[in-house]
Structure 1
Amino acid sequence: MSVEPIKSIYYRLRNIHLFGAHIRTLHHAFKHKTATPKRQVSNNQDTLLSQSTPRDMEPCLAKPEVQLDDKTNNVAVDAELVEAIMSRRILQSLITMEAWEGYTFAEQKIKIKESHDIYGAVMWPSAVVMGYFLDTHRDTDNLLDKNIIELGAGTGLVSIVASLLGAKVTSTDLPEVLPNLRYNILRNTKGHCRHTPLVTELSWGKELEQHFPQATCRYDYVFAADVVYCHPYLEELLDTFDHLCQEGTQILWAMRFRLDRENQFVQWFQSRFHIVELYDLPSLSIKLYRAVRKTQSGQVA
């Protein structure tokens, strides 16, 4: 037997084990919950929205439906929301030679091929969180015919969900990630989406105006999931966000907090963008943000 099938089987068994352990943790948390709100939105939202937040930004930075003051309620809502997100995962009934992950979003079964030899070609949980948000917030974030670009698309899950919801998607990543990304997007969107998604290279901070000129590349949304981690290109990433965001552009960005560097990046990010927290999932160490670019006067662009 070759090395590749053995490696694939190992990762399948590992993922099944981790998924089972996580669900057991969630069930334990449910035993202690005291409330069941409809939807979780961070109770820190009012803190994040300072008094200087412009009035014209208020519609897209809506007040939370439920205010949670009790720590037990926070844990309960986190557990409820994470279980709802994880319920979209399709568990394999058989161990196969191909490493893949399955999810149900936008009324479609999505099959994601992974490549464990490439860091960016592995499914990370922030993408699943964002996919769930897009699928369950079609009323507030209607993606039909919207122009969207995703940074660091990886295996393509977020781009696929956005395409299935009717968006015009440009899915980007580094050259070595593109073959697997292109395969996943074609496999899951062909014949199922309103607009054919574009897969193209984007190296953060490099030749942005040449390849993505601001005069013609105008986006309604910039998506990013798990693009902040221990790499030396955080300043270039921030410059890329800045270049792609114009008047009316919104950023949806999911991030898993691992080290202090993530907190530092959020501070840098807030120097250029107005930001609000949409999800806070302590059990996954993930937060989901919405942001819009500031003008030189500190107002919303």
Structure 2
Amino acid sequence: MALVPYDDSAVWGLQKFHKSSSVYHFANHTIQIKQNWKQLGVAAVVWDAVCMIKINIFSICAEHVSVSSPTPNNTELLCAHVTITDREAALEFLESNVQANLPPDLQPRAVVKELTWGRNLGNFAPGKFDFILGADIIYLEDTFADLLQTLEHLCSEHTVILLSCRIRYQRDQNFLEMLKGRFSVREVHYDPSKDVRVFKAQRSIHKEDF
């Protein structure tokens, strides 16, 4: 488990978490994510691994999504139905960020839903998700078995998982080995400046197509 200083005089690398918002430019859109470190701690700030997901999302989606045009464009991909999950304590804050960044006509496509790994999985249709995106979610070893159970419940053989993370400790590598026991896994991006990696995982019968 990572222990993070919880005060305004934290080291320089953590100062960004104490800002009231974090701004990103993605798919011709400006996204401003509200942050509230004092109220919710690590659940209400944007981590570097979250940013790394966007580097690969469009190229990987284009490989797997069938749309009317030869090449999916930003608008088509952004019109997907998305389920955004977190623990119950963070849901209200998460919902406020969705409402602040999506126009009213698109908000019904983004559902905010509580998910605690390994619990109440019947609230989610098994194998019905095309893509699963996870950022910085493999740091707590006690949750690894529950996380794998959750991924297996949500995935079909056509589901693509993207996990972005830092490999900080041996336990992180251990999780990747556990994941490889159940999915085809490969690294698709590495940012040496932030030491963040993006892994693609898929339960695939034909690994040569992976």
Cα distance change of structure 1 residues 174 and 197 upon mapping to structure 2, 3 Å threshold: same
Deviation at 1:163, TM superposition (A): 9.4
Instruction: Give 1:140 shift.
Output: 3.3
How many residues matched?
A: 196
* Structure 1 contact 101–112 (Cα < 8 Å) conserved: yes
SS at match of 1:233: helix
> Match of 2:125?
213
Looking at structure 2, the residues matched to 257 and 99 of structure 1 have their Cα atoms a distance apart, in angstroms, of: 28
Per-residue CA distance 1:48-99 (angstroms, 9 max, x = gap)? xxxxxxxxxxxxxxxxxxxxxxxxxxxxxxxxxxxxxxxxxxxxxxxxx971
Verify the 8 A CA contact 2:156 2:203 in the aligned structure 1: yes
Change over 3 Å in CA distance of 1:298–1:132 after alignment to 2: closer
1:270 corresponding residue in structure 2: 180
TM norm structure 1: 0.56
Higher Rg of the two aligned structures: 1
Superposition pairs of residues 122-137 of structure 1, within 5 angstroms: 122-135=45-58
Partner of residue 87 from structure 2, selected from 174, 179, 194: 174
2:158 and 2:204 in contact (8 A); partners too: no
Letter in 2 for 1:134: I
Q: Which residue in the other structure is 1:189 paired with?
A: 102
1:17–1:221: structure 2 CA closer, same or farther, 3 Å change rule?
A: closer
Residues 1:202 and 2:115 are matched in the alignment: yes
1:242 equivalent in structure 2: 152
Structure-1 separation of matches of 2:75 and 2:160: 14
Aligned 8 A contact 1:219 1:245 in 2? yes
Tell me, in whole angstroms, the C-alpha distance in 2 between the residues paired with 1:172 and 1:204. 10
Does the aligned pair in 2 maintain the 1:279–1:287 contact within 8 Å? yes
Aligned to 1:86: none
Q: Where does 1:1-301 land on structure 2 (aligned, <5 Å)? A: 14=12, 99-117=20-38, 118=40, 119-135=42-58, 139-140=62-63, 142=65, 165-191=78-104, 193=106, 196-208=109-121, 210-214=122-126, 218-293=128-203
Give the counterpart letter for 1:111 in structure 2.
Q
Rounded to whole Å, the distance in 2 between the matches of 1:176 and 1:144 is 37
How far off its partner does 1:142 sit?
4.8
Q: Are the equivalent residues in 2 in contact too, given 1:166–1:194 (CA < 8 A)?
A: no
Provide the C-alpha distance between the structure 2 equivalents of 1:100 and 1:224, rounded to a whole number of angstroms.
21
Asked if structure 1 preserves the Cα contact closer than 8 Å seen for 2:157 and 2:204, the reply is: no
| Structure 1 residues not aligned, in runs of 5+ | 1-6, 19-96, 146-160
State the alpha-carbon separation in 1 of the partners of residues 82 and 110 from structure 2: 5
Runs of 4+ in 1 over 3 A off after TM superposition: 13-18, 135-145, 161-164, 191-195, 297-300
| TM-score calculated relative to the size of structure 2 | 0.78
The 1-side partners of 2:129 and 2:183 are apart by 16
Cα offsets for 1:8-56 (capped at 9, x unmatched): 8x68x946977xxxxxxxxxxxxxxxxxxxxxxxxxxxxxxxxxxxxxx
Percent of residue pairs identical: 27
Pairwise CA distance, 1:194: 8.2
Distance 1:16 1:257, change over 3 A: closer
Aligned to 2:4: none
CA–CA separation in structure 2 for the residues paired with 1:164 and 1:183: 22
* Mapped partners of 1:168, 1:294: distance in 2: 23
The worse-fitting range, judged by mean Cα deviation, of 130-139 and 197-206 is 130-139
